[in-house]
Amino acid sequence: MNQDYKETAKNIYKEYRQVLSKVGEASANAQYIHAQSNWVFLLLVDYFQLHSLVVSSTTDTDRIPVTLRSSIQLLSNESFLHDQGEMIADTLDLFDLLESEISPLPRQSIDLRNIFQGFIYLPTRCQVIKCMIRYRPLDFDMIMDYLLKSIHYLSTKHILYLSDTVYAMIEEQPDQAHRIRYQLTELRILPSLTIRLTVTFCNDDYADFLNGVFNSQPSWFLQQSSTNAASFTKIKSNILKELSNYTVIISSENKEQQTVSMTHLANITAIIRALSGLVAFFGVKLTDQEIQQCLTLLGQASSEKLVKLLLCLVLISADQMMRHQKQLTSTMIQLIQNGNSEMPLLLMAYFQTDEIGQIEEMMRTILQMQVPIPKIGLFEMQKLFKTIDSYIV
């Protein structure tokens, strides 16, 4: 930035602020802005207007975007943002410095938090924040803190804008995605953004992340946007693909193989539990191939823990599992006969005595999640269990 150009902007801005305090905003703008070509000065005015608007509208934030259209010039100009990103970032520091000189008392000084909150209301919010992160990379944590704290003052619509703004920051520094996702989870805010970050940047730990959320109080996470259905389907497909890569060692006298089997078992159970949560909480559907994959694994499972988790998944998605009734019936008979788990016999007893509530309580205990369980599916499974009674020897 040319030093003379910058000094000129500083002097004009100081004059503008003096005039504004004496004759008001409309007269000051008419005198200084309309015929002005110094971009640095106009940016300084944009920052001042943005800050003033946020401070004066803390109880009525819905009017901010309307007022911004007439008061903000350069920060709403996409072409300018694209061409002058470094100037935009540098001028914010200049603005902060000048305001500290103009208003030296702390109670009168500018609070940059209001500037960054104001960015959320701009139609160019993502472009502006990318400029800031690109040319002020060391301020990433400070800016993130300012943005996340603004959530308490935002309407539902503007919280969506906040989510987009934070996502734009991560696009500039993708290596921050895991850390910011963890922060959002700890604060229990922006659930849709956590899924967006997971699918785009953190796609190496789907099952672990979901289990971590489900292990806590997941009510905040369940407040997902309806537009996230495709993301949950993608997560489901990926964790089932991961599941197919594991080979379950059912029995072996080789100690080394048995150790490998236990490692696989831990991963498999984590995947099944995460999958159960996806199906129960978000209504994710399983394809025919995925149903067959789960039923095949259930028939092969020798671990009681794995059998129980898979049976919970079968019961939660019973309406889908019934599309493969022949394989499902065969698998249930096999489970009852091989005796690897007592759960199939318990299910048969509860279904025969119409103790559906006991089944629901047992499933939630096994999954350690307060999942919703479709009763229609349980009634269909009750019919199936009554038909297989005659096959048991």
Domain boundary among 172, 195, 214: 172
298: nearest Cα among 244, 335, 347: 335
In degrees and rounded to multiples of 5, residue 98 shows phi and psi of -65, -40
Per-residue confidence band for 392, with pLDDT thresholds at 50, 70 and 90: low
Q: Region 220-237: what's the mean pLDDT?
A: 91
pLDDT at 106 over 50: yes
Do 131 and 161 fall within a single domain? yes
Domain boundary among 245, 267, 285: 285
Do 253 and 379 fall within a single domain? no
Q: Region 159-180: what's the mean pLDDT?
A: 97
Res 248: pLDDT: 45
Do 140 and 30 fall within a single domain? yes
DSSP letters for 83-125? H-HHHHHHHHHHHHHHHHHHS-SGGGS--HHHHHHHHTTSTTH
Do 165 and 212 fall within a single domain? no
For residue 339, give the DSSP letter: -
Res 32: pLDDT: 87
Question: pTM for this one?
Answer: 0.87
What's the one-letter identity of residue 209?
F
Angle at 181 between CA 272 and CA 76, to 5 degrees: 135
Do 166 and 45 fall within a single domain? yes
Per-residue confidence band for 300, with pLDDT thresholds at 50, 70 and 90: confident
What tens digit of pLDDT does each residue of 42-76 get? 999 999 999 988 887 655 666 676 777 778 989 99
Domain for residue 178, yes or no?
A: no
What's the one-letter identity of residue 338?
N
Do 273 and 329 fall within a single domain? no
Res 58: pLDDT: 59
168: nearest Cα among 203, 106, 124: 124
What tens digit of pLDDT does each residue of 314-357 get? 999 999 999 999 999 999 999 988 888 899 999 999 999 999 99
pLDDT at 221 over 90: yes
Separation CA 15–CA 32 (nearest Å): 9
Domain span including residue 304: 287-393
Separation CA 9–CA 241 (nearest Å): 59
Res 252: pLDDT: 40
In degrees and rounded to multiples of 5, residue 286 shows phi and psi of -95, 140
C-beta separation of 81 from 88 below 8 A: yes
Separation CA 278–CA 305 (nearest Å): 19
Do 140 and 79 fall within a single domain? yes
pLDDT at 262 over 70: no
